[in-house]
Amino acid sequence: MWILRDNWEGDEDVPAAFKRHALAKHASRWEFMKFPVHCASYAFSPDYHDENIFGIAEVMRETREMLRFFAPNAADYQQALREIHDHKVNQDDLLFPKNEENNKIDIGISPVGWWQVNGAEWPALQPIAIRILSVGTSSSASERNFSTWNHIWSNRANRLNFQRTVKLVFVYSNLRMLAKLHSGTARTDHVKSYWLETEIEE
């Protein structure tokens, strides 16, 4: 969405009135769809390492919120804050190689892969970054969740209260996911699941 906005702002062929209307709709849609995980993904992505996230209040606020959510305790949260500063000021050309043609960072692997290979320098931040960057972008999981709700809270089981239904959906979905992880049939093309088994079992 940001690429579209940037391209249109510099495009003189798009009529000005239409551009204003479309960009206003774009901004409104972006605000509606944006969550803290998006800002944290931007902050942790090595592809945008050169961007000054410290000057963007919203990104820093949402990133702190995600760190607070995922850090196991206050000490780890403070350590992760220190490490995100150390990570962003690191200018090692071996960690952040640049494309000679456009002078932009080109890491050659996925952001999750980069954190797995290079993240040991920031031990408190590494697992948090991997988890955030592993969030799937497909809507299929939410669609499966609706299907599960329909299966459990059916016309024949309509006396279930809401809280019990939530627990049944959670157990049903996660037992199926664990079974697929154990059998080796879990999909890995749209979500990284190597941390998921431990999380569910805990």
- For residue 128, pLDDT over 70 is answered with yes
Tell me what pLDDT residue 172 has.
87
- For residue 56, pLDDT over 70 is answered with yes
Tell me what pLDDT residue 30 has.
66
Higher pLDDT, 172 or 27: 172
Dist CA 41 CA 182 (whole Å): 29
> In this structure, what DSSP letter does residue 119 have?
G
% the chain with pLDDT above 70: 81
Confidence of residue 75 (pLDDT cuts 50, 70, 90): very high
- For residue 35, pLDDT over 90 is answered with no
Higher pLDDT, 74 or 177: 74
Dist CA 115 CA 120 (whole Å): 8
Q: Note the Cα 176 to chain centre separation in Å.
A: 23
Q: Note the Cα 44 to chain centre separation in Å.
A: 9
- For residue 79, pLDDT over 90 is answered with yes
**Model pTM score:** 0.62
Question: For 70-92, b where at least 16 C-beta lie within 10 A, e where not — what string?
Answer: bbeeeebbebbbebbeebbeeee
Q: Residue 183 in contact with residue 176, Cβ under 8 Å?
A: no
Q: Count other C-beta atoms under 10 Å from residue 112's C-beta.
A: 19
Tokens linked to 124? 């408190």
Name 17's Cβ contacts closer than 8 Å, sequence gap at least 6.
none
Tell me what pLDDT residue 1 has.
53
